[in-house]
């Protein structure tokens, strides 16, 4: 096998396995077989139908971890795809298939990068590990989070972590994620008294009561962000009330909303401020909160410098550090690893019909991961 075909060959094998969350379909077994051949000790940590792989080579610090997921989202109607989503297909300079960009190409690039690095530097300092789950696209309760809990309990210290999420925009290497905003959702039920619209004095309209409070919440400046994060945002995602009839005052109004928040705010501070506004307006209400993920941030330092330098050396592109987008498993890893960054291929087609990755990006992607290992583990 030529060097140029190594990443492509492995990603084709991975795409051909229909590993829709939480089914791994032995993707991780395939990875473990490859990694064990170059001295990795591989361990499966399974729970709740989810498969997780922890593979480590070396015992000394620093420990550099590549993290990702073998699970993919469902492909949707097969007849909408130009080719079978689980038959990797090369067409017009692209590789098509579910998971091509999110994120089986990154995983293949991880493995090939490790193979090449170890072949060139078998006595390298430090340690290399892969943390792979089949539960990133789903509930994410039996995946990366339980591996992190296990590693913490063992006292295994992670120093650097690269999550292979597809972060690039227009071209490979233009964007890395050195943090992510947190996600805090709420379900607000405002209680009224149902009645006939012709006798409003016998009813209490929760929509009328809610409106000024909701307007104040929507107009509130929660924070101003910071060097790395934009200001925290509040958005209503659903509002419903009433029976569907035009002559009935509703008995309750239900609002679903979400905060995407920066490190300039905390879940506790946001919750307290919302409750204060609702209480000020005299509402009778119930409010249930769900913390989807806390924000994390890796300031400029050894990991960001090593990755940005590797991208520039391989592609000539100067990467931008960004904290935009949704949540990722980086939020779990950041609790046990001081430096976490996300980097992977272009994300224009992720979760879409005809998901694809440019064939010409596969080799450079693996080389960037390999160069980052060199920058962090080899004497300078």
**pLDDT for 2 beyond 60:** no
At a CB cut-off of 8 Å and minimum separation 6, what does 276 contact?
Answer: none
At a CB cut-off of 8 Å and minimum separation 6, what does 366 contact?
Answer: 6, 7, 108, 109, 110, 112, 113, 116
**pLDDT for 315 beyond 80:** yes
Q: Are 333 and 340 in contact (CB under 8 A)?
A: yes
Rounded mean pLDDT of 45-67?
Answer: 97
Rounded mean pLDDT of 141-145?
Answer: 97
DSSP-derived secondary structure for 148-187: HHHHHHHTPPP-EEEE----BSSSTTSEEESEE-EEEEEE
According to DSSP, the residues that pair with 297 across neighbouring strands are 179
Q: Is 136 annotated as catalytic?
A: yes
Q: How confident is the model at residue 4 (pLDDT cuts 50, 70, 90)?
A: low
**pLDDT for 118 beyond 60:** yes
Q: How confident is the model at residue 29 (pLDDT cuts 50, 70, 90)?
A: very high
Rounded mean pLDDT of 37-50?
Answer: 97
Q: Of these residues, 115, 136, 294, 314, which one is catalytic?
A: 136
Q: Of these residues, 24, 71, 363, 374, which one is catalytic?
A: 71
288 is known to lie in a ligand binding site: no
Q: Are 158 and 337 in contact (CB under 8 A)?
A: yes
CA–CA gap between residue 306 and residue 284 (Å, rounded): 54
CA–CA gap between residue 345 and residue 165 (Å, rounded): 8
* Per-residue model confidence as pLDDT tens digits over 92-115: 999 999 999 999 999 999 999 999
**pLDDT for 52 beyond 70:** yes
Segment holding 370, helix H or strand E: helix 359-377
Q: Average pLDDT over the chain, rounded to whole? A: 96
* pLDDT the model gives residue 293: 87
* pLDDT the model gives residue 1: 36
Of the candidates 163, 139, 152, the residue with the CA atom closest to the CA atom of residue 292: 139
* pLDDT the model gives residue 76: 95
Pairing of strands 89-91, 94-96: antiparallel
**pLDDT for 169 beyond 90:** yes
69 is known to lie in a ligand binding site: yes
Pairing of strands 127-133, 63-69: parallel
Q: Which domains does the chain have, with CATH numbers?
A: 6-180+295-377 (3.40.630.10), 182-293 (3.30.70.360)
* Per-residue model confidence as pLDDT tens digits over 226-254: 989 999 999 999 999 999 999 999 999 99
**pLDDT for 372 beyond 50:** yes
Rounded mean pLDDT of 23-36?
Answer: 98
351 is known to lie in a ligand binding site: yes
342 is known to lie in a ligand binding site: no
**pLDDT for 3 beyond 80:** no
Q: What percent of the chain has a predicted confidence (pLDDT) above 70?
A: 99
* Per-residue model confidence as pLDDT tens digits over 182-219: 999 999 999 999 999 999 999 999 999 999 999 999 99
Q: Are 188 and 255 in contact (CB under 8 A)?
A: yes
- What does pTM read for this prediction? 0.89
Rounded mean pLDDT of 350-375?
Answer: 98
* pLDDT the model gives residue 74: 97
CA–CA gap between residue 235 and residue 238 (Å, rounded): 9
DSSP-assigned letter for residue 141: S
CA–CA gap between residue 40 and residue 178 (Å, rounded): 27
Beta-carbon count within 10 A of 210 CB: 24
- Spatial strand order of the sheet with 89-91 comes to 89-91, 94-96, 356-358
* Per-residue model confidence as pLDDT tens digits over 244-290: 999 999 999 999 999 999 999 999 999 999 999 999 999 999 999 99
**C-alpha torsion 360→369→133→82, nearest 10:** -10
137 is known to lie in a ligand binding site: yes
Q: Are 344 and 165 in contact (CB under 8 A)?
A: yes
Q: Strands, DSSP E only, in 32-159?
A: 41-47, 50-57, 63-69, 89-91, 94-96, 127-133
* pLDDT the model gives residue 325: 84
Q: Is 24 annotated as catalytic?
A: no
């Amino acid at each position: 096998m030529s060097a140029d075909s190594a990443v492509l060959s492995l990603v084709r094998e991975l795409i051909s396995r229909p590993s829709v969350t939480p089914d791994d379909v032995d993707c991780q077994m395939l990875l473990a077989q490859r990694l064990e051949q170059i001295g990795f000790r591989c361990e499966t940590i399974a729970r709740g139908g989810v498969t997780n792989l922890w593979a480590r080579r070396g015992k000394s610090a620093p420990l550099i971890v590549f993290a990702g997921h073998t699970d993919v989202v469902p492909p949707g109607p097969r007849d909408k795809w130009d080719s079978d989503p689980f038959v990797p297909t090369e067409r017009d300079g692209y590789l098509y298939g579910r998971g091509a960009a999110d994120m089986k190409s990154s995983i293949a690039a991880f493995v090939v990068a490790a193979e090449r690095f170890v072949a060139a530097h078998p006595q390298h300092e430090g340690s290399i590990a892969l943390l792979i789950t089949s539960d990133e696209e789903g509930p994410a309760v039996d995946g990366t989070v339980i591996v992190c809990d296990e590693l913490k309990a063992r006292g295994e210290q992670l120093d650097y972590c690269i999550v292979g999420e597809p972060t690039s925009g227009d071209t490979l290497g233009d964007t890395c994620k050195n943090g992510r905003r947190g996600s805090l959702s709420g379900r607000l039920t405002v209680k009224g008294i149902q009645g006939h619209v012709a006798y409003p004095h016998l009813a209490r309209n929760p929509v009328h009561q809610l409106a000024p409070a909701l307007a104040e919440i929507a107009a509130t400046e929660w924070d101003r962000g910071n060097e790395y994060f934009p200001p925290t945002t509040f958005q209503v995602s659903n509002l419903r009330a009433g029976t569907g009839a035009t002559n009935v005052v509703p008995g309750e109004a239900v609002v679903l909303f979400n905060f995407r928040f920066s490190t300039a705010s905390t879940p506790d501070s946001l919750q307290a401020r919302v409750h204060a506004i609702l209480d000020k307006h005299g509402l009778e209400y119930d409010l249930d909160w769900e913390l989807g993920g806390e924000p994390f941030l890796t300031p400029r330092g050894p990991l960001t410098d090593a990755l940005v330098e590797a991208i520039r050396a391989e592609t000539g592109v100067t990467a931008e550090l960004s904290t935009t987008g949704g949540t990722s498993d980086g939020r779990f890893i950041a609790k046990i690893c001081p430096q976490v960054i996300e980097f992977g291929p272009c994300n224009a087609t992720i979760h879409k019909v005809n998901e694809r990755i440019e064939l010409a990006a596969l080799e450079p992607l693996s080389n960037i991961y390999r160069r980052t290992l060199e920058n962090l583990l080899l004497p300078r």
